[in-house]
Amino acid sequence: MVNEVFHKVANRYDLMNDVMSAGLHRLWKDALVDWLAPPKSDRAFAVLDVAGGTGDVALRIATAGGPGTRVMICDINPSMIAEGRARAGGRAFAGCITHAAGNAENLPFPDRSFDAYTIAFGIRNVTNMDRALSEAYRVLRPGGRFLCLEFSSVDVPGLDTLYEAYSNAAIPALGKAITGDGAPYRYLVESIAKFPNQQTFARMISDARFSRVKFRNMNGGIVAMHSAWRL
């Protein structure tokens, strides 16, 4: 069902992100890459961007990092991968961004393959988040970094009510107006509402054996970034 949702919206996915967030998603993704801080040298630095879709985060990492930075985009949806390949097709990114089809719960990569694992607005869509976190730990090298950007729980009185009303009424309507189908965006709103709050998700990351788990709220907790390390 999730696969079909993203197949329907792939060609308008980035436009809808701009409309739904009033462009804020760009700042959130910039903040994720800033916290990752890929090395600007030629030191080898391999990043796995899971649920990387159209490549928004991967392109930012490749731009911020030095010549040794390489990003593998892994996504379960062929339509999203096609969009990502088209965006990364420029010569400036030749060789530094690659793509693979794969499920976050069963990644098609060997143990200890990557220096960093990023996932932006994707982990709430997996069936078994504990399994996805375990896979993230498995494919990271010792000393590797896990970073997750996801919608979370608003912690500002008043803003929570406004945000809930906007999500339930405006987002499906905008989705229908722009993509012709509001149903995928009703699903997205429901998936956000069901996602664990910041503290609960931090405990889930710790339970997956990660260390030094932290999170940062942005825009009153509308989104949160979680960081952890495989030590």
Average pLDDT, the chain: 89
* pLDDT range class, residue 7, cuts 50, 70, 90: low
For tokens 């997750």, name the residue: 148
Taking residues 44-61, report their average pLDDT. Answer: 94
Determine the residue type at 46.
A
Beta bridge partners of 229: 145, 211
For residue 54, is pLDDT > 60? yes
pLDDT tens digits, 191-217: 888 999 999 999 999 999 999 999 999
For residue 93, is pLDDT > 90? no
Taking residues 104-121, report their average pLDDT. Answer: 97
Taking residues 219-225, report their average pLDDT. Answer: 96
Do 38 and 64 form a contact (C-beta atoms < 8 A)?
yes
Q: Which residues contact 88 (CB under 8 A, 6 or more apart)?
A: 55, 58, 59, 73, 97, 99
For residue 49, is pLDDT > 70? yes
3-state secondary structure of 195: coil
CATH topology for 13-156+196-230 is Rossmann fold (3.40.50)
Q: Which of 65, 50, 33 is nearest to 114 (CA)?
A: 50
**Higher pLDDT pick, 167 / 36:** 36
pLDDT value for 11: 58
